[in-house]
Amino acid sequence: TGRENESVGRRLPVIDSSIAGLVTPKTVLHAVFRRSGVLPVNQLVDLFAMAEILSKQPQTRGRRLTVVSNAWGPAEQAVEWLQKDGGQVATLSPETIEGLKNVLPADWRPGNPVNILRDADAERYRKAVEVVLKEKESDGTLVILVPQAMANPTETAEQIKSFSRLQHKPFLVSWMGGHGTAEGKAILNRANIPTFPFPDTAAQVFNYMWKYSYNLQGLFETPELPADSGSTAPKRQKVARIIDAARQAGRTELTRQEALRIIAAYHLPVIPPKAAAKSCDIIFGVFPDPHFGPVLLFGAGGNQLRIYRDISLSLPPLTTTLARRMMEQTRIYQVLGSEEACLIGQIAELASLLVKFSHLVVEQRWIREIEINPLVVNPNGIGVKSLKIHLHAPDMTPEELPRLAIRPYPSQYRWDYEIRDMGTVKIRPIRPEDEPLMAKFHETLSDQSVYLRYFHPVALKQRVAHERLARICFIDYDREMLLVVERPDPNGGEGEIVAVGRLNKLRGVNDAEFAITISDNYQRCGLGTALLSKLVEIGRMEKVDRIVADILPENRGMIAVSEKVGFKMQMDYEEQVVKAVYDLRTK
C-alpha cells in the first residue's frame, strides 16, 4: 500500500548513488563466489568437466602451462585460449630444452608449445612428455595428438598413461580425430587422465583449475582488524561522535567536512597530492546488498567510471592479499603497474588503504554507503579529492543493520591473563597460522589427557594430521569459538600453546557445547578455570541460551573446575557421563 511504501521509504532512504547503479546482482554474486573459494563456470558442461577433473587430478600451483603437440595449429589454438583468460605459457628452462634436444629430431625448434613434429610416433611422445614433466617452472601439461601418419592414438595412450601416477600437477590430453581415437581415450580415462576432443577446451579447463586454486589460496586467509595501539589505531570515538550527531539531527547524508574527518580517523589521506604529469583517478566505495550486507567496490574513477565501468567487488574485511586480488580484477590495475604510468610504487600503498577502508566499513555499521571518487594517485602520493558518506535511517535499530557476510577475526575476545607460577599468558581466538603450534601442543598431551578429552584413545599421528588441524585452525567464528592460551617465550622467540578451549554452537537449539584440553606440563595452574570463565563470557556475548558438556566421571579436575565456574552437574547413569549445564538466561 502507499502507507507501507512510505514507511519503507523512511527506513531505507533513496540515495542518488553513482556506485550502486554500476553493479548487478550477478556481479555481486560472482564477487561472493570468489571470496568463498567458489569458481563460476560458463556452461553446464564445464561444471561436470571440472567435477570430474578435480576428482582425478591434483590442484595446480599456478597458471603456467606446457603444451606438447605433433602439429602447430592445435597447439597455437590452445595457447590462444589459455592466454585469453589469464593463463600463461610456461618458460622452459635450459635443462628442459637440452633434454628435449636429446630426444627430438635435429630440426626441432626450441620453445613452448613443444612441437614434436608431424612424424612423431608413440615412443617420441613418451620421451618428450617425460622431459617436460620435470620442468619446475610449469604448473601443468597438455598433450595434443592429431592423427597423422606416424601417430597411433592407442599406442601413444599406452606409452603415456603411467605419467598420471607420477604427477603432482595437472596432466591433460586432447586426442583429436573422433572415433579413430576412442580406444586411446578409453585407455587414458581409465588411468584417470582427462581427455578432451579439442585443445581449446582443454586450455579453458586448465584456466578454470588455476583460478579455482587461486581462489582457495585467498580463502584460507583470516582477516584481522588492526591492533588498538600507537598512532595506527583508528580514532573510533571521534567517528562515533560524528555519526551520533548526524543521526540525532535526523540526517542520513554527512557534510564533506564530517566525511573527511571520518576517513582521516582511519588514516586515509584526505589531502590530494601535488599535481603531476602522470596521474590516475581511482574509486573506493561501499554499498549495501540485501543478501550479503556491505559490498566493497574498487576501480577506475573520475570520468572513466561511467565510460568504462572498470570495477571489481569484494566482501569486507580484507587482508593485503585480498585487497591486491580485488585490484587485479580491473584494467586500471594494469595501468598502475605499467612503466608509462610511473605509479608501480603506489600499488602497495593503495592496497594498504583499501584494507583500512574495509576496516572502516566493518567497524562503523551505521554507515550505509561511501563513495570516494576520485582518489587521486600520482608519483607524489595518494589523496582524496571528493567523497560522499550516507548513513542508515535514524530510526533503524542496531539489530536491523546489515550483517557482514564474513565475520572478521574476533579481536574483542583477546585477553592478557595472570596465571600463578606462569606469569602473564595470552588468551585469544585461534588463527590459521597456529597449525604448527597446535601440532606441538598435541605432543605435550599424555594418553590419559587425550582419553579424558575425546572419550577414547586417539593416536598422535591422527591428531596432528594436516587435514584435521586445518579444520581446527580455520573455523567459522559465527558457529564456533576456539580459544588458545599462548605462553610467550621469555627470550623473545616463538611462544607455545599450553591450553585450548572450544565453544561449539549446537544445531537446532541455541545451546553451545564446551571442551577444554590442557597440556600435561601446565595442569593444576588455574588455566582450566580461566579458560572456562572466558568461554562463558563469550557465550553470553554471543547470546547463547545454555552452555553444556559431557564429562567422564573420572575427570574429577574438569568437574571441579565446572562447579567452580558455576555449572550445575548431574550424573547420567545411562550414558555414564556427568552432564554440565550453565543456563545463561538465569545468570
Residue 12: what pLDDT? 38
Q: Based on the domain organization, do 488 and 347 belong to the same domain?
A: no
Grid cell of 552 as nine digits: 567422564
Which residue, chain included where needed, has cell 561501499? Answer: 286
Residue 513: what pLDDT? 97
Query: How confident is the model over 507-514, as a mean pLDDT?
Result: 95
| DSSP structure class, residue 319 | -
Q: Based on the domain organization, do 146 and 213 belong to the same domain?
A: yes
Within-domain flag for 531: yes
Query: Which range among 135-139, 296-300, 421-425 shows the weakest confidence by mean pLDDT?
Result: 421-425
Residue 84: what pLDDT? 92
Strand-pair partners of 512: 505, 547
Q: In what helix (H) or strand (E) does residue 579 lie, and over which residues does it extend?
A: strand 577-583
Q: Kindly give the pairing relationship between strand 577-583 and strand 568-572.
A: antiparallel
Q: Based on the domain organization, do 49 and 139 belong to the same domain?
A: yes
Strand-pair partners of 284: 298, 372
Give, in order, the Cα–Cα distances in Å from 237 to each of 213, 224, 241.
41, 20, 6
Q: Based on the domain organization, do 76 and 181 belong to the same domain?
A: yes
Residue 10: what pLDDT? 35
- Of the candidates 375, 385, 386, the one whose C-alpha atom is nearest the C-alpha of residue 280 is 375
Tell me which residue range forms the domain holding 497: 411-583
The Cα 537–Cα 516 span in angstroms is 15
Among 369, 400, 431, which residue terminates a domain?
400
Q: Based on the domain organization, do 431 and 572 belong to the same domain?
A: yes
Is the peptide bond between 374 and the residue preceding it cis, with omega within 30 degrees of 0? Answer: yes
CATH number at residue 10: 3.30.470.20
Query: How confident is the model over 548-576, as a mean pLDDT?
Result: 96
- Of the candidates 324, 400, 333, the one whose C-alpha atom is nearest the C-alpha of residue 365 is 400
Confidence class of residue 388 from pLDDT cuts 50, 70 and 90?
very high
Q: Based on the domain organization, do 176 and 319 belong to the same domain?
A: no
Residues 6+ apart with CB under 8 A from 247: 366, 391, 394
Which residue, chain included where needed, has cell 582477516? Answer: 223
pLDDT at position 587 over 70: yes
Q: Based on the domain organization, do 363 and 482 belong to the same domain?
A: no
The Cα 299–Cα 18 span in angstroms is 13
Residue 222: what pLDDT? 56
Confidence class of residue 432 from pLDDT cuts 50, 70 and 90?
confident
Mean pLDDT of the chain: 89
Confidence class of residue 7 from pLDDT cuts 50, 70 and 90?
very low
Q: Based on the domain organization, do 383 and 442 belong to the same domain?
A: no
- Of the candidates 332, 339, 348, 331, the one whose C-alpha atom is nearest the C-alpha of residue 382 is 348
Is the peptide bond between 317 and the residue preceding it cis, with omega within 30 degrees of 0? Answer: yes
Q: Based on the domain organization, do 277 and 324 belong to the same domain?
A: yes
Within-domain flag for 27: no
Residues 6+ apart with CB under 8 A from 292: 28, 32, 315, 405
pLDDT at position 233 over 90: no
Residue environment code for 376-399, b if the CB has 16+ CB neighbours within 10 A, otherwise e: bbbeeebbbbbbbbbbbbbebeee
Residues 6+ apart with CB under 8 A from 355: 317, 318, 319, 320, 323
Confidence class of residue 9 from pLDDT cuts 50, 70 and 90?
very low
Residue 319: what pLDDT? 84
Q: Based on the domain organization, do 394 and 444 belong to the same domain?
A: no
Query: Which range among 250-264, 462-476, 560-574 shows the weakest confidence by mean pLDDT?
Result: 462-476
Residue 3: what pLDDT? 36
Q: Kindly tell me the burial class for residue 35, based on how many C-beta atoms sit within 10 Å of its own C-beta (0-12, 13-18, 19 or more).
A: buried
Within-domain flag for 487: yes
Grid cell of 544 as nine digits: 547463547
Within-domain flag for 29: no
Query: How confident is the model over 45-50, as a mean pLDDT?
Result: 84
| DSSP structure class, residue 401 | S
Which residues in 290-331 belong to E strands, given as ranges?
293-300, 311-314
Within-domain flag for 265: yes
Residue 225: what pLDDT? 52
Q: Kindly tell me the burial class for residue 273, based on how many C-beta atoms sit within 10 Å of its own C-beta (0-12, 13-18, 19 or more).
A: middle
| DSSP structure class, residue 339 | T
Tens digits of residue pLDDT in 123-170:
999 999 999 999 999 999 999 999 887 889 999 999 999 888 766 899
Alpha-carbon radius of gyration of the chain = 29
Grid cell of 376 as nine digits: 587521486
Strand-pair partners of 140: 65
Is residue 283 classed as helix, strand or coil in its secondary structure?
A: strand
Within-domain flag for 526: yes
Residues of the chain above pLDDT 90, percent = 68
Domain tally for the chain? 3
pLDDT at position 16 over 70: no
Tens digits of residue pLDDT in 322-333:
899 999 999 999
Is the peptide bond between 147 and the residue preceding it cis, with omega within 30 degrees of 0? Answer: no
Is residue 64 classed as helix, strand or coil in its secondary structure?
A: strand
Among 371, 400, 429, which residue terminates a domain?
400
- Evaluated on CA atoms 184, 188, 189, 195, the torsion sign reads negative
Tens digits of residue pLDDT in 279-294:
899 999 999 999 999 9
Residue 6: what pLDDT? 33
Confidence class of residue 344 from pLDDT cuts 50, 70 and 90?
confident
Is the peptide bond between 113 and the residue preceding it cis, with omega within 30 degrees of 0? Answer: yes
pLDDT at position 485 over 50: yes
| 319 vs 206: which has the higher pLDDT | 206
Within-domain flag for 31: no
Tens digits of residue pLDDT in 391-410:
999 999 998 999 999 888 89
Tens digits of residue pLDDT in 299-320:
999 988 888 899 999 999 888 8
Within-domain flag for 81: yes
Query: How confident is the model over 462-491, as a mean pLDDT?
Result: 89
Q: Based on the domain organization, do 258 and 202 belong to the same domain?
A: no
Q: Which of 36-45, 358-367, 408-417 has the highest mean pLDDT?
A: 358-367
Q: Based on the domain organization, do 283 and 371 belong to the same domain?
A: yes
